[in-house]
Structure 1
Amino acid sequence: MIRNEFMVRFGQAPRLKTGILVKRWATGPNKGQPKPGAVIQGMLDRGLLELRDDGAHWLRARFTKAGLAALRHMAEDPRALPPGEYQHVLDELGRA
């Protein structure tokens, strides 16, 4: 999921600080509440992400300090985040 969310699309590299988009329930009893997928929910439960509600249609899940530490650990393996494709992420994490 990390690789998919932060890969370069349309020539623009997404930034870690902008976070991951999370949908809201559109109808029903949970209308307006966050609707994170299973992977995002698991990362929220482990304290790797936090949801910030700024009133926009979409929520953003942003990495906590623990989440950034886990990303740094993940970045130690070049197979997890190949430098050719994810150099922008490695740069943000302070790994060149």
Structure 2
Amino acid sequence: MLTAAERDLLRRKLCVRFGSPPRLVDGLHLRVWRTGPLAGQPKVPAALHGMVERGLMTITAGSTRMARAHFTEAGLTALRWLAARRRDLDPAQFAHVHQELGLAVAPAEPPGHPGV
């Protein structure tokens, strides 16, 4: 469903930064060209461009300084596929993504301590 470059891009964009996990509903932040012939247009990485072409994501420009890439329904299905593969989206590191997708995993109990 997703290429290695696309999986890597999603891991980088969805990881927790500065203590705040990104929300899927907010989309993925994209940089914008400041000068030149493409000024004001989003800088779209090659991996994201492929996802847009396949209908997994759409790009919206909020202003000349900000753009975001949002998941389509097909994109959310691909993200669920990625989250189901533990080695691609670790449930501990990407718990916020699993929770938003409705795939929240129950926390593991310490050995010898049955649930109350």
TM exceeds 0.5?
yes
Structure 2 length-normalised TM: 0.76
Uncovered stretches (5+) of structure 1, i.e. residues with no partner: none
Q: Using CA pairs below 8 Å that are at least 6 residues apart, which structure has the higher relative contact order?
A: 1
Higher helix share: 1
* Count of paired positions: 96
More strand by share: 1
Structure 2 unaligned runs (5+)?
A: 1-8, 105-116
Q: Distance in 2 between matches of 1:19 and 1:77?
A: 21
Residue 60 (structure 2) pairs with residue 52 (structure 1): yes
Question: Larger Rg: 1 or 2?
Answer: 2
Contact 2:40 2:64 in 1 (8 A): no
Cα RMSD for the two superposed structures: 1.3
In structure 2, the CA distance between the partners of 1:63 and 1:74, relative to structure 1 (3 Å rule), is: same
TM-score after normalising by structure 1? 0.90
Which residue in the other structure is 2:42 paired with?
A: 34
- Written as runs of structure 1 = structure 2, the 5 A alignment for 1:1-40 is 1-40=9-48
> Which letter maps to 1:41?
H
